[in-house]
Amino acid sequence: MPHPALLAISHGTASAEGQASIQALVDAVGRRLPQARVRLGHVDVQQPDVAASLAELSDGPVVIVPLLLSAGYHVRIDLREQSAHRDDVTITPALGPDPRLADLLAERLREIEPNPGHVVLAVAGSSDERANDDCRLVARMLGDTLGREVHVGFLAAAEPRLGAAVDAAIADSPDTVVANYLLAPGYFHDLATREAHGRPLARPLLTPDSEPAASLVDIVVERYLDAAQLSE
C-alpha cells in the first residue's frame, strides 16, 4: 500500500529568504522520506494554497503537517475547513511546543551571547490564547535549558508586545538579548528586529544560509510518521 503523501503547509511569506528557508526544510524532509510524496503549500501569501495542493494530491491519502510553531487559527480552523471535503486527510499537531525547539532556540542564543543578562522570547502572537500559551510553554522550556527566566514578547494580537517586554528587561539588565521564536525570515522577523530596540536578536530557527537543523527535520518527519502510523 502506498505511503500517504506529506503536505507541508507553511504560513507563506513575501520574503525571498523566508521562502528559500522553508523550501530547504521541506526538501530535507523529502530526502528523509523517499517513499512518500512530499509537497509544500501555504495558507496565505504564496501559491499553491491548501485547495490547490490537495487537488494535486487527489489520488490517495494525505497527511498535512503544519509548518507552524503553535496551534492557532490556521491549525484549528483554517486547515480543517479547507480539507473538510476529503475524508482521507489527516492534520498533525503544529511543530511546537517541543523541547527540541527550546534546545534550538538556546543554540541560536549562544551564537550571539553565551551568558546573557535577561532573555526575551520574540513570538508572533495569536488571537487564539491557546497558541499564545504554547509559546509561553516554550519560553519556560527555554528557561529550563538556560537556567534563567525567559520573558515573552508578542509581535501581534497579545500582550506584552515585544518592544515593551524588551524595554522592561533592559531597565533591569542592559545585557538583555532577544531569542527568536520565528520559523524563518519575513514580516515578523523584520518587526522583531525593530522592536528589539537595538538589543542583540538571535536568528530565526531557519535561515537560507545554513542547512535546516536536524531537530526541525526530525519533528516534521515524526509528525508525519505518527499520523500515518508508520515507522521510518
Per-residue pLDDT tens over the stretch 156-173? 999 999 999 999 999 999
Contact partners, residue 185, CB within 8 Å, separation at least 6: 13, 15, 17, 18, 21, 204, 207, 208
Give the mean model confidence (pLDDT) for residues 188-209. Answer: 97
- The pTM score is 0.95
Q: What is the pLDDT of residue 74?
A: 64
The answer, yes or no, to whether residue 1 has pLDDT greater than 90, is no
**Residues paired with 8 in a beta bridge:** 40, 65
